[in-house]
Homo-oligomer: A and B are copies of this chain.
Amino acid sequence: MIDKRVYDFDAALEGMKDGATIMSAGFGAAGAPQELLEAVLDRGYRDLVIISNNAGEGERGLIKLLKERRIAKVICSFPTSSNSEITKELYSAGLLELEIVPQGTMSERMRAGGAGIGGFYTRTSVNTPLAEGKEVRNIDGDDYVLEYPLKAEFAFIKAREADRWGNLTYNLSARGFGPTMAMAAETTIVQVDRFVELGEIDPEQVITPGIYVDRVMEVEAS
């Protein structure tokens, strides 16, 4: 019987290691897998490379990892928030590497990683510092930048419901990067509000099909 459900963080994080690259869903706090990130903190992993829209916000998850200096690099579109001083401090002190990617390009690069696209041309960032060193090509009169896929060893996702095949639904705008990151990581680990029986999710309302999901764990908001 296929059963992707796990019941503790040790099982959820199997294979995690120092230096791992982790995609972390969430836009601000919505959809952020705070408890999974904090379980990584508790287990002492370090030198992490994080791919996430923001380099933390508030007091949870990524911010805790940043404060404990567990993160070597963040690939993101917008690192700081009004309430995340630690990111600025670490960056100013040269203790945190940041790679800034336009939000749509970041999302599209992850989709490319998940969908077998070897590279794609986008108008976003043409003639800006973020296109420096990248190939530019004129297609039908417009300049486009060549962007390559973005993949990761792990994706951490927060979803609303999961069944034992790993099918997922999300809550409103907490959907965010979840469906795309699930495609783009070797191992996709999902914390969900609740497990449901196989067949409870209408086939037309599955947002992330289980094919992209490796492990699901029920996590109570803490």
Within 115-159 of A, Cβ neighbours of B (below 8 Å) are at: 115-123, 137, 139-140, 142, 144, 148
- Chain A interface SS verdict (over half): mixed
Interface hub of A117, A118, A122, A142 (most chain B Cβ within 10 A): A118
CA distance A107 to B127 in the complex (A): 30
Interface hub of A169, A170, A204, A207 (most chain B Cβ within 10 A): A204
User: In the complex this chain forms, how many copies of it are found?
Assistant: 2
**A139 in contact with B144 (CB, 8 Å):** no
**A204 in contact with B170 (CB, 8 Å):** yes
What are the residues of chain B within 8 A of A140 when measuring CB–CB? 118
What are the residues of chain B within 8 A of A144 when measuring CB–CB? 118-119
Interface size grouping (class) on chain A: 20 to 34
Within 169-202 of A, Cβ neighbours of B (below 8 Å) are at: 169-170, 172, 175
What are the residues of chain B within 8 A of A170 when measuring CB–CB? 204
What are the residues of chain B within 8 A of A119 when measuring CB–CB? 120-121, 137, 139, 144
What are the residues of chain B within 8 A of A115 when measuring CB–CB? 108
CA distance A175 to B204 in the complex (A): 9
**A203 in contact with B118 (CB, 8 Å):** no
A23 → chain B closest CB, angstroms: 19
**B121 in contact with A137 (CB, 8 Å):** no
CA distance A142 to B122 in the complex (A): 22
Please tell me if A205 contacts chain B, counting CB pairs below 8 Å: yes
CA distance A115 to B118 in the complex (A): 17
Q: A116-B123, A205-B205 are in contact. List 8 more A-B contacts (CB 8 A).
A: A108-B115, A108-B117, A116-B122, A118-B120, A118-B121, A118-B139, A118-B144, A119-B120
Name 7 interchain pairs, CB-CB below 8 A, sorted by A: A108-B117, A118-B121, A118-B137, A119-B121, A119-B144, A172-B204, A204-B207
